[in-house]
């Protein structure tokens, strides 16, 4: 497996929005997952604030990435999951925040719904919810979101990066 499926830079996401080039970045390790349920649907998370659909995942708190993505799936999609394999990694240079994001994406199966709401306080406050979609709808959602991004209709800096990155993982998985 190659080291990164893709390396994304600020100018790839915002070609018309020039930001001063930075020399020093802090690294943030993150995980994402493509999780299938028994109906062959993929879990996406969304909220009424940014109104975009993203793969579940987030920042890691330990070096055990499988443990971290299991925790994120419990939190965001309320599911215990079995991790099947790694789909790949991306690296992003987010100039505005002086951060690089190294993201590992996993593929897994939803095993069991959690009885308890495990969302963080912020996720609850922001109305984070899970939506399960079939593969065709999944492709359409990300195609439309990336068209909206190119047309300047996504105003959240990190969400813009996440939208592009998640579509890269989805396309890699669908190959």
What's residue 18's pLDDT?
A: 76
- Tell me the average pLDDT of the chain: 94
Whether this prediction's pTM lies above 0.85 is answered by: yes
Domain residue limits at 93: 6-174
Q: Would 157 be classed as within a structural domain?
A: yes
Of the two residues 7 and 49, the one the predictor is more confident about is 7
**What is the pLDDT confidence band of residue 77, given thresholds at 50, 70 and 90?**
very high
Q: Would 126 be classed as within a structural domain?
A: yes
What's the average model confidence in pLDDT over 46-59?
95
What's the average model confidence in pLDDT over 141-146?
96
**What is the pLDDT confidence band of residue 19, given thresholds at 50, 70 and 90?**
confident
How do residues 100-116 score in pLDDT, each as one tens digit?
999 999 999 999 999 99
Q: Would 64 be classed as within a structural domain?
A: yes
What's residue 63's pLDDT?
A: 95
According to DSSP, residue 116 is labeled: S
What's the average model confidence in pLDDT over 148-171?
94
Give the H or E element holding residue 79: strand 79-94
Q: Would 1 be classed as within a structural domain?
A: no
Q: Would 25 be classed as within a structural domain?
A: yes
CATH of the domain at 84: 3.90.79.10
Q: What are phi and psi of 32, to 5 degrees?
A: -135, 160
The SS3 call for residue 36 is strand
Q: Would 69 be classed as within a structural domain?
A: yes
Decide if pLDDT at 1 tops 70. no
Q: Would 84 be classed as within a structural domain?
A: yes
Residue (of 148, 147, 124, 143) closest to 133 by Cα position: 143
Q: How many other C-beta atoms are found inside a 10 Å radius of the C-beta of residue 147? A: 10
What is the distance between the alpha carbons of residues 120 and 74, in angstroms, rounded to a whole number?
11
Decide if pLDDT at 17 tops 80. no
Q: Would 99 be classed as within a structural domain?
A: yes
Lowest mean pLDDT among 67-71, 148-152, 170-174: 148-152
What's the average model confidence in pLDDT over 70-93?
97
Beta-bridged to residue 79, according to DSSP, are 113
What's residue 109's pLDDT?
A: 98
What's the average model confidence in pLDDT over 114-126?
94
**Number of compact structural domains in the chain:** 1
């Amino acid at each position: 497996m190659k080291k990164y499926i893709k390396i994304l830079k600020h100018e790839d996401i915002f070609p018309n929005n020039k930001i001063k080039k930075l020399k020093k970045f802090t690294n943030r390790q993150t995980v994402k997952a493509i999780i299938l349920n028994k109906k062959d649907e993929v879990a996406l998370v969304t909220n009424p604030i940014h109104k975009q659909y993203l793969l579940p995942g987030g920042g890691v708190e330990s070096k055990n990435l499988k443990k971290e993505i299991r925790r994120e799936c419990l939190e965001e999609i309320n599911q215990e999951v079995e991790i099947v394999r790694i789909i790949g990694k991306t690296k992003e240079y987010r100039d505005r925040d002086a951060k690089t994001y190294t993201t590992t994406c996993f593929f897994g199966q939803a095993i069991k719904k959690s009885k308890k709401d495990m969302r963080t306080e912020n996720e609850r406050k922001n109305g984070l919810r899970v939506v399960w979609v079939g593969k065709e709808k999944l492709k359409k959602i990300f195609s439309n979101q990336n068209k909206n991004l190119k047309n300047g209709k996504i105003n959240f800096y990190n969400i813009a990066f996440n939208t592009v990155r998640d579509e890269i993982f989805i396309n890699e998985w669908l190959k």
